[in-house]
Structures are given as C-alpha cells and as structure tokens.
Amino acid sequence: DAGITQSPRYKITETGRQVTLMCHQTWSHSYMFWYRQDLGHGLRLIYYSAAADITDKGEVPDGYVVSRSKTENFPLTLESATRSQTSVYFCASSEIRGAKDEQYFGPGTRLTVT
C-alpha cells in the first residue's frame, strides 16, 4: 500500500535552474494538490487538479507550472527557481465525495534554492 509518494525527498538547486518535483499516488484519487509550507505560514495551496488534464491555480501559483497527463501523477515544475521558493513542498490527494473532502499527504520534498 504505497499511497502517495514524492521525489526527490531533498533537493538543493541554484537560482535560475528549472526543478521538477514528482508526486505519485496509487489510490486513483481524482483530486491532487501541491502545497508549500514555510515558517510562520500555514500550508498554502500552489495548484490543484480535479482530474487528468484539469488543473487550476491556488493561492500562490506564480513561478510554478503543473501538468497532469495521468491520474496518478502530478509533477510540479519551478521554471526558474528563486530563493523565495526555498520551502517544504507537500503533495496531497483526495477523493472528494459530497462533504467528505479530507486530503492525504505525501512525505514532502525539502527544497533549498541557493
């Protein structure tokens, strides 16, 4: 029962580089999400996807790109990394049915941009 996995778990990159964070879930959940978590802030939604080929912006989408060609994968790309994108990134998934919209999280990717 793999659930939801993220890779890499840790990444150090330089300013200006492109970085892709991977997220994979085995539950066949329709919804997938990307959050970032920084000290002093709660989890902030970057992008989400309701199904394959359907994505939408969250609260802090600038500087990020997502795609969802398959239900189980939801990669997040930082097109040109900046130091302000140093953060912990969590992927989550959910099978939203009526009022039951709890989300389940992957282990996170700790990204440092130097």
Partner 1 sequence: RKEVEQDPGPFNVPEGATVAFNCTYSNSASQSFFWYRQDCRKEPKLLMSVYSSGNEDGRFTAQLNRASQYISLLIRDSKLSDSATYLCVVNGAHSGGYNKLIFGAGTRLAVHP
Instruction: Give least dist CB 61 to partner 1, A.
Output: 12
Instruction: Give least dist CB 90 to partner 1, A.
Output: 6
Of 50, 79, 82, 114, the residue at the interface with partner 1 (CB under 8 A) is 50
Q: What are phi and psi of 98, to 5 degrees?
A: 60, -125
In order of 1, 21, 34, 73, 98, the CA distances from 89 in angstroms are: 22, 9, 7, 15, 27
Which amino acid is it at 40? G
85 near partner 1, rule: CB under 8 A = no
Number of other residues whose CB lies within 10 A of the CB of residue 107: 13
Q: Which stretch binds partner 1 (CB under 8 A): 14-22, 69-77, 78-86, 93-101?
A: 93-101
Tokens describing residue 111: 């990204």
106 near partner 1, rule: CB under 8 A = yes
By CB under 8 A, name the binding residues for partner 1.
31, 35, 40-43, 45, 48, 50, 56, 58, 88, 90, 96, 99-108, 110
